[in-house]
Structure 1
Amino acid sequence: MVGRGGRTIGLVLALGFAWAVLAQDAPAPAGSAAAKQAMPAADQAAAPAATEVAEIPLAGAAAAGVHEASAPNAWGGERQGNEATLSDRVVGYRIDAELDAAKHAVTGSEQMTWRNRSDRPVRSVYLHLYLNAFKNEGSTFFTERHVLTAHGHSRGAATLKKGQWGYIDLKRVQQGGAALKWSFVQPDGGPKTDQTVVRVDLAQPVGAGETLTLDIDFLSQLPRVVERTGWWGDFNLVAQWFPKIAVLELPGERGATQVRWNAHEFHFNSEFYADFGSYDVRLTVPSDYTVGAVGEQQAAPTQANGKSTYHFVQGDVHDFAWVAAKGYQTLDGSFTGPGVPKVAVRVIYPPEYKASAQPVLKATTDSLEYFSRTLGAYPYRTVTAVVPPYNGAEAGGMEYPTFFTAEGYSKIDPNTSDQWEIDFVTIHEFGHGYFYGLLASNEFEEPMLDEGLNEYWDQRMLRERNQRILVPSSFAARLGVRPSMDVFVQERLGAGLKSPYDPLSENAWNRFSSSSYGTVYSRTATAMHDLEERLGKPVMEKAFREYYKRWHFRHPSAADLRAALVDVSGDAKTVNEIFDQYVYGTAFIDDRIASIDNDEVVPQAGVFDKDGKRSEVEAEVLEKQLDKQREDWQKAHKDAKSWEGPFPWRGTVTVVRDGAPAPQLLRVTFADGSHEDVHWNDNRRWARFVFDKPSKVVSAELDPEQKILLDADKLNDSRTTKTNAMASRRWTADMAALLQAFYSLLGTL
């Protein structure tokens, strides 16, 4: 998902909130009285007693970034490319669904098949009912949102009125000929009124290696667009809309030490996690609606009674979403590249945002080229981008396999950040197709592996295109200047570098504040930027290609990313330093120039021994001699510079380290225009560097090439011996531009 905060000029606004209090509560055991609280009476009566807790436990509320690398055979081992299917398909869905356009409701019939990969029988399974996040204010989503919006703006802040709530009703769950009962659970200790996770008790256990088949009838009522999914007018984005089975993890997979279910509530900040499988979906909608979906459309839609039925099929993905909208238009393109099947690219957009269609199409095809070249060949035959309508923008900036939503503009002003922003959002959402889609990271527990790494790779693409962010400034415009900002400089501005409360590897909901969650995007991108500067661009690219090669169509952890970086770079010290300090820790960097001192190197007063003789130099006599020497030199060098004289200079530069150590380059410039570079790469809290030169030190700067963007305060990285009005004018102009951008942003929220 794109960085929260609506339209931006590149400042990724942080969202999230402190869920720590709720997370402290132990999750209600499946089948307990607390878990059954929100169940219909009939379901409560049929639910197992508390003593019949399923043998297979749930991942806990504290599950977060993994420290130990996964086993080599995790998820069936690395895909070699010669297997019958791209992924190890664990689950399959056959769904028939019909949209009631007037009610924005979908009736569905689903047959789900699921393979038990474990070595033991499974007696209960867990299903996600994500739409129940929008059922009432007692859901985990709304409980968390209430805390967040009390402390500032956020996405997903729409107020739902009568008839605008959303939910999933399970009508029937059947195994063979047996009707099954279910109970709602809250694995993360959320409010007992949350119904986004349901446990289904099976009539017959599923043995090791065996396959379960469930037949499910359901009704999905779409909410008015709050976030990610829903309707506005005749637009329906149907996402997280069907009962979806949770992931059964085995020992050695993402830090699991025993067989466990990974099922989390639908949190305000978190996204999703699911098994790879196949989808065979038929969608019936009014015939005057435009339809787009995950996967490939099979033949032309069939029509009857004013309705059209579309058939979509896609293997080796882990989710399915679709759009049905009246009066929408399409723009088609295609892409081919080395190792990539011919990809049909489609943009679906409302007439009022026609200006967005071509830019979204181009940014999508450009992304296909970049990601295929730098990570791995795109393996699917379709990609569909949807531009939501005005008042439906909260459905924008969201990703699903082969399918994403972008942003809409009625016109693109070349004098603003419009072009950069529409490109960034498109590239970002397409990029999720790799980090969320093909790598299938657990977005609940390790959001940095998706949002953060994707943000980093997106900005690399924009950097390669030399696409900077235009900063609006009426003052600069009057001077004929168009101020711009480097994409990674923009990232550090929103990264919360000075006082990070949570490790990047923390899960999505257990965060100190909304800002802390937001730094998952920007602080990860900044940390990866700095790691690239230390390892070198070619090494970093090779390491990420290896990470993708090992883990696509599997489910990596943060520890698996670290292992790939170490293996390729051969530099465990540097990689571990970044991970220990920023991924698993909350360190910050703040190195600064404390002072610059210049002294003439002149003869000294006192008693001296030379050649067995002792002599004394009197201070008063010496001072007169030095004055005479200076006077004579000035007479002989009438055109000399102010810093020139008969004696050399000793310059002393003192640097101070207020945070974690980082390998710094210190550049010292002298009055004669020369400079000297010194490396400061140790753990000292402060250091002094002395330079004996013919001229004075006039300035000193840490990180002159701007490689260490994790430094929390770049303003104290440099110092001069005399004031320079150019610096103050520059920072005044920059601050004015940023303030104008900020006020413009507030107007769009």
Structure 2
Amino acid sequence: MRYFLFIFFSILLSVVNGQQNYWQQQVNYTINVQLDDVNNTLTGFEQMEYLNNSPDTLGFIYLHLWQNAYKNDRTTFSEQLLHSDRTDFYFSNDDKRGFINQLDIKVNNTPAVFETDSAHIDIIKLLLPTPLAPHSKAIISTPFFVKLPYNFSRGGHAGQSYQITQWYPKAALYDSHGWHPMPYTDQGEFYNDFGDYTVHIALPANYKVGATGLLLSREETTANVLPAAFDNNSNKIKKPFFPKKQVEETTVVASSRKLQTLTYTANNVTDFAWFADKRFIVKADTIQLASHTVKAFCYILPENAELYAHSMQFLKKAVHFYSNQFGDYPYPSVSVVSCPQELFRVTSMEYPMITLMCEETEMELDATIAHEVGHNWLQAILATNERDHAWMDEGFNTFIERKYRQRYYPIDETKAIKGVDFSGLNGAGAHFLLNNLIALHKDQPIDLTSKAYSFNNYGAIVYEKTADWLEQLEKEIGVDAMHRVMQLYFKNYGFKHPQPADLKQVAERVTGKDLSYQFNKIYQTGWLDSSTIKKTTQLKILIPGLDNKHHYINLSPIAGYNSYDKIMIGAVLHNYQLPLQKFQFLVAPLYATGSSKLNGAARIAVNRFTQKQWLETSLSAVSYSINQFETGNNKPLILGMQRIVPSVKLTIYNKDLREKDKWVLQARSFLLKEDLLDFTTITTPTDTFDVLDKKASAYLINQLAVGYENNRILYPYNARLIIDQGSKFIRVGFTGNYFFNYKNGEQGINARFFAGKFVYLTPKTFLSAYETGRYHLNLSAPKGNEDYTFSNYFIGRNEFEGFKSQQVMERDGFFKVGTDLLGNKIGKSDDWIMALNISGNIPDKYNPLSILPVAIPLKFFFDIGTYSEAWQDNAASGRFVYDAGLQLSLLKDGINIYFPLLYSKVYGDYYKSTLGDKRFWKTVSFNINLSALRPNNISRELPL
């Protein structure tokens, strides 16, 4: 018994001591700032009162200069946007970028020096002239100048609409774990000290402003009211004035222009943001809570007036709802600001007492107002470290937002299944993605640093899976207990910086249970509860099944076409869905109206997924017609083919899920049966005549392919080595592609290099050269009859005249011109070839098609190559041949039409001698690239 009491009091003492030893810094700010809406700049002066409540003596303080994140394309912010497949900032002009400078820092009136972080230009290390002892304070002051960027992320400007966030020099947070200097990023938010703010904002009088805190006063003047200086004697900011040095370095608003100075105060907040626009329609109201009255404001742009008609009602509902969940909203004001429509792509973002909304529908606006206002409890008051534990804000908030949605927009389970309804409001798109990531072993744990997440995982895990986990916890402990957990958590840790262990401690205190099993799930991948993933099998007709609750067998009509079968109609029965199943099948019989044949395709595959690998073993079969001949009896002779392909493919992914590179290794065999013409001479007593028939030819092609690709958004590249082997040859081809982005990132120049080698496995003779002719290397892009594995779609595979004969496929040298009617084609080799293909977008200002209402990208192409025979004596062409022209790309490069304008003399001579009149149109070629239509943005992380 005494032992038990000793343990009990030891634990109690440690808890008490832990509470007594808890400390956190406080940083108070007084800032004077003036907006120049001509040059989109801020000129300011800041006084920072830094209170060292820690037990440590500080020799330096880290400061965030987050506007420098927009200074160039070598910042962490720029690199992180590229990881998220965004290039808009990377390719932006200097006038859209921003920075902060003109710092002249003094500490307690003593000039101080600082060091710039070698890796991050938006972090500096302020060296204190005198070490800051525990329980003492330092007064840090500095002027600063900000060039506001275009709003690429959360803040900046769009024209003369201003979203002023992360705009002043800010102290990094110091806690028991040490300093937390962090560069600005778009993925991953903040970790700031609490403090009291007094902010004087000077700007033209015709602007309306919404800001953190309460507006104390507004004064109008015609004089420049620019940042004040620090009074060395009184340790206070003096009346505003404009230092001479800054007059010389800064373009200022004309002194005759009417200005206003707005003074705001905000106490016990972690940040200060403000928004200014001349067009704001301001709605004001009050929200009565049990403890106090809250002033409520909506700042609405005229272009969004209809959308925001009920915004005040939404705001009031949100404050009451979250107050009921956690406890009364403690601040004196709450505001919602609508962003310009050109910024709707920017994510809505919260700051203490104010949030910027960028939504497009009223239902989304209602739910998102609730979500963003809810961050006042979870981000502004329970100020967790969002870089290290983003889920403690975003995931917890999503959990509460779901309750809000269910109350005001309940899901009709008869019409929508969770994970299928892509309305946006119900978050089903992210939840659907989450289930796919988990099933394919591409998910990450809930508790990771923000920078560790891939783009898809950040939304799916931090928001959705965390909310699922909290719902599971609520189911285990009960709704009432969960409500008490949230209220006690907020009561105990409001205006502090809780850690994951603190939430666990509160939950266990309320429930009296050891919840380690549940809380350990935040460090694991995979399903939260494997019992919930048991699926039943259902048949879906016409519309494929999409949700994650069932294994679907889908049945729907399909159609196809080629020149010989004409229109083919049929049905496809398959179980393809997301996530990809371990066992997949597809059967698609097609009746051909032209050939009166039953064609079709079938495929089965077995998949094995791990986080780093995808192993697919498959068997496919296909049958269709490839040629036809007139027999003279009005019944054409149709030639067909059948192909069976066993395949093993291994995809190896980068262990860092943020990266887009992977290796692909594949071995497969093409078992082919092809109809050939069979001429038979029949002799009778009265006559001799030829009979045209067909005979089957069976052969085998083995293929080994090794590829590497990096589908990063900036300068993507890939390389692939393919070795084909037949009974009489080995064919080796290497292809490399590198894309040089320009403009908005989607446009650019692609460089393709090909090198190939052909080797005979039997002695080279005239007969063996003839028999292997279709497998020879070719500078010209192969036509349908050279597609010896039948892996590409051709409208008229064996046509030799008309537009169907002008279809080519991307392989070998990929020239857009050729000499198909020559016995020995120019550029064809049974030894080796090399080629370089360059193609690129023509910028809109030079593209005559840019005036059309539909965007049609016009490109140029240039091909140059050489081949073995060109280096022999008496060669048919020069050692290097070339072509160049214009390329019209449709359906995102799914269809490409090539117009040759320049080419080597040997091609020109051929055209003149063989094509006759109107030969320009006969030189035009086109390519159908079905693989270009795959959803590549998803396939960057998912195996599609």
Q: Give the TM-score band, short-chain normalised.
A: 0.5 to 0.7
Cα–Cα, structure 1 residues 490 and 359, in superposed 2: closer, same or farther, change >3 Å?
farther
Deviations 1:341-394 (A, max 9, x none): 211111112111101333322111101101111101111111111101121235
CA shift at 1:139, angstroms?
Answer: 0.3
2: CA distance, partners of 1:419 / 1:163:
34
The whole-number CA distance in structure 2 between the counterparts of 1:182 and 1:105 is 24
Q: 2:367–2:425: 8 Å Cα contact kept in structure 1?
A: no
Cα-to-partner distance string for 1:415-470 (whole Å, 9 max, x where unaligned): xxx33211121111101111101101111111001111111111111112244499
Q: Is it true that 1:181 corresponds to 2:102 in the alignment?
A: no
Please name the residue that 1:292 is paired with: 210
For 1:88 and 1:170, how far apart are their aligned partners in 2? Answer: 30
TM-score by length of 1: 0.62
1:473-495: CA deviation from partner (whole Å, max 9, x where unpaired): 9xxxxxxxx99799376663232
SS of aligned partner of 1:441: coil
Partner of 2:375: 432
Q: Which runs of 5+ in 2 are unaligned?
A: 1-13, 224-257, 539-546, 554-571, 580-933, 939-944
Distance 1:487 1:75, change over 3 A: farther
Q: Which has the larger radius of gyration?
A: 2
Q: Is the 8 A contact 2:450 2:458 kept in 1?
A: no
Q: Structure 1: how far apart are the matches of 2:129 and 2:423?
A: 63
Is structure 2 residue 65 aligned with structure 1 residue 129? yes
Contact preservation (8 Å) 2:322, 2:374 = yes
Q: Say yes or no: does 1:451 pair with 2:387.
A: no
Ranges in structure 1 where 5+ consecutive residues have no aligned partner: 1-69, 79-86, 187-191, 251-255, 410-417, 474-481, 590-659, 668-698, 702-711, 719-727, 736-741
Which one of 473, 478, 486 corresponds to residue 536 of structure 1? 478
Q: Which has the higher contact order (CA 8 A, sep 6+)?
A: 1
Q: Which of 307, 311, 319 is matched with 2:259 structurally?
A: 307
**Which residue of the partner structure matches residue 423 of structure 1?**
366
Task: Tell me the secondary structure at the aligned position of residue 356 of structure 1.
Answer: coil
CA contact (8 A) 1:468 1:485 kept: no
1:441 aligns with 2:384: yes
AA at the equivalent of 1:438: I
Deviation at 1:72, TM superposition (A): 5.8
Counterpart check, 1:201 vs 2:127? yes
> Letter of the aligned partner of 1:209 in structure 2?
H
* Partner-residue secondary structure (3-state), 1:301: strand
Q: Which amino acid aligns with 1:397?
A: S
Where does residue 139 of structure 1 map in the other structure? Answer: 75
What secondary structure sits across from 2:305 in the alignment? helix
- Any conservation in 1 of the 2:69–2:184 contact (CA below 8 Å)? yes
Does structure 2 retain, via aligned residues, the 8 Å contact 1:494–1:519? no
Cα distance in structure 1, aligned partners of 2:341 and 2:393: 28
Structure 2 distance, partners of 1:470, 1:309, is 54
1:70-109 map, 5 Å: 90-109=26-45
2:587 matches 1:587: no
Aligned to 1:605: none
- What does the per-residue CA deviation read over 1:205-257, in whole Å, with 9 as the maximum and x for residues that have no partner? 1111110110111111110010100101110110000011011112xxxxx3x
Cα distance in 1 for partners of 2:88, 2:16 equals 40
Match of 2:450 in 1: 508
Residue 566 of structure 1 pairs with residue 511 of structure 2: no
* Alignment match, 1:461: 404
Whole-Å separation in 1 of the counterparts to 2:344 and 2:326? 30
AA aligned to 1:456 is F
Aligned counterpart for 1:336 among listed residues 288, 292, 305: 288
Larger fraction in strand: 2
Instruction: Give the Cα–Cα distance (whole angstroms) in 2 for the partners of residues 356 and 666 of structure 1.
Output: 42
Q: Secondary structure of 1:136's partner?
A: coil
Q: What CA distance in whole angstroms lies between the structure 2 residues aligned with 1:448 and 1:317?
A: 21
Q: Which amino acid aligns with 2:488?
A: E
Corresponding residue of 2:301:
350
Contact 1:89 1:316 in 2 (8 A): no
Structure 2 CA distance, aligned partners of 1:514 and 1:374? 29
Q: CA deviation at 1:89?
A: 7.0
Alpha-carbon displacement from aligned partner over 1:47-87 (angstroms, at most 9, x marks no partner):
xxxxxxxxxxxxxxxxxxxxxxx976668689xxxxxxxx9
CA shift at 1:202, angstroms? 1.0
How far apart, in 1, do the equivalents of 2:414 and 2:66 lie? 38
Counterparts of 1:203-352 in structure 2, within 5 Å, are 203-250=129-176, 256=177, 260-305=178-223, 306-339=258-291, 341-352=292-303
Q: Structure 2-normalised TM-score?
A: 0.49
Superposed CA deviations along residues 626-663 of structure 1, whole A, max 9, x for unmatched, are: xxxxxxxxxxxxxxxxxxxxxxxxxxxxxxxxxx655x
- 8 A contact 2:47–2:139 mirrored in 1: yes
* Distance change (3 Å), C-alpha of 1:486 and 1:535: farther
State the AA in 2 paired with 1:497.
I
In structure 2, the CA distance between the partners of 1:513 and 1:77, relative to structure 1 (3 Å rule), is same
Measured against aligned partners, the alpha-carbon deviations of 1:493-530 in whole angstroms (never above 9, x if no partner) come to 23233225321110100224543454211111111122
Q: Deviations over 1:21-56 (max 9, x none)?
A: xxxxxxxxxxxxxxxxxxxxxxxxxxxxxxxxxxxx
- 1:497 maps to which of 438, 462, 467: 438
Letter of the aligned partner of 1:93 in structure 2?
A: Y
The SS at the match of 2:401 is helix
Question: For each residue in 1:651-693, what CA deviation from the matched residue of structure 2 results, as whole angstroms up to 9, or x when unmatched?
Answer: xxxxxxxxx655x7999xxxxxxxxxxxxxxxxxxxxxxxxxx
Conservation of the 8 A alpha-carbon contact between 2:552 and 2:577: no
Rounded Cα–Cα distance in structure 2 between residues aligned with 1:140 and 1:326: 33
Shift of 1:577: 2.4
Percent identity reads 23
CA distance in 1, matches of 2:481, 2:73: 49
Conserved 8 A contact 1:126-1:197: yes
Shift of 1:157: 5.9
